[in-house]
Amino acid sequence: MASVIVPAHNEATVIRRCLDSLKDQAGLDTLIVACNGCTDNTAEIVRTEYPQAICLDIAKPSKVNALNEAEKHISSWPVFYIDADTRLSPNAIEDIASALAKGDTLLAAPEPVIDTSRSSWPVRQFYRIWLQLPYIRDGVIATCSYVVSEEGHKRFARFPDVINDDGFVRCQFDRHERRNIPGTQIYISAPHNLASLIKIKTRARLGNMQLAAAGLCTRKEQKPYASSLKKKLLSKEFIPTFVYLSITLFIRLRAARQYRNLAGYRWEKDQTSR
């Protein structure tokens, strides 16, 4: 049996899709929806339409605080942390829990399926290359979800006050301790336009910079981008690779500028896919 935590900040337009994909999953013991700082009717939807869920209505608009509050209601392990704007494939909870029960994996995630059908051409090119990067294929990154075993959660007592909670969790585990579970999927809608893509990728980059500066990663790893991208620049994938590199460079510069005023950072969210 497993517990599931869904942090939700103003997710009224997407929360039903997420919870519908979770409510009848085999192996689900406790479903916790941590509404935080909502100014829409997200909490009302959860309370009235999903009575089987524990609905927390937290005043503070903070994802990591919502996760910490939700963890007080955990009844079983492993714990699934699922973003509200995603959908989980059937039987994923049972299959991932079974994989973690073997003990050799402490951090897991379903395989990401990113829908770019409504995205602009630059966004589609970006994800075409991004999904092929060794660091991404390595598992448990940017999947909008992760699953931690009881043993794995001993690596950290609480979520610190950081932008990138999934990045924080990932860097507590060595490569051999984490993996995506084949046959399970998390469905993610890509941003529809370039501006929204830049927002969410800047946020991720900024979060990684914050983690590094604060020394919050207990495991460090290399990101072997250069050789892979160099080969693609010399192949028929030159154009999407050039687009990817151009967008990535802009994101790095934008994140560096925002980092200088990190204390005043305001969470940037993609609204186009909601």
Which pLDDT belongs to residue 267? 83
Given strand 28-36, what is the order of strands in its sheet?
Answer: 54-58, 28-36, 2-8, 79-82, 145-148, 107-115, 178-189, 86-88
How much is the pLDDT for 189?
Answer: 96
Torsion region of 75: left, alpha or beta (phi above 0 gives left; psi -120 to 50 gives alpha): alpha
Architecture field, domain 1-85: Alpha-Beta Complex (3.90)
Q: What is the pLDDT of residue 40?
A: 97
Q: What is the pLDDT of residue 224?
A: 63
Q: Which two three-digit tokens encode residue 93? A: 């909870």
At 138 the pLDDT is 67
Q: What is the pLDDT of residue 203?
A: 94
Whether cis (ω within 30° of 0) applies to the bond prior to 134 is no
pLDDT in tens, the chain (274 residues): 999 999 999 999 999 999 999 999 999 999 999 999 999 999 999 999 999 999 999 999 999 999 999 999 999 999 999 999 999 999 999 999 999 999 999 999 999 999 999 999 999 999 999 988 877 766 777 678 999 999 999 999 999 999 999 999 999 999 999 999 999 999 999 999 999 999 999 999 999 999 999 999 999 876 667 777 888 888 999 999 999 999 999 999 999 999 998 888 888 889 998 8
Q: Using an 8 Å Cβ cutoff, are 110 and 183 in contact?
A: no
The domain limits of the chain are: 1-85, 89-263
Q: What is the pLDDT of residue 249?
A: 97
155-167 exposure pattern, b = at least 16 Cβ within 10 A, e = fewer: beeebeebbbbbb
Which amino acid, 151? E
Provide long-range contacts, Cβ within 8 A and 24+ apart, for 40-46.
Answer: 40/10, 40/11, 40/12, 41/12, 42/8, 42/9, 42/10, 42/11, 42/12, 42/15, 42/84, 45/12, 45/15, 45/16, 46/8, 46/15, 46/19
Cα separation values, 101 from 24, 77, 204, 266, Å: 21, 10, 30, 39
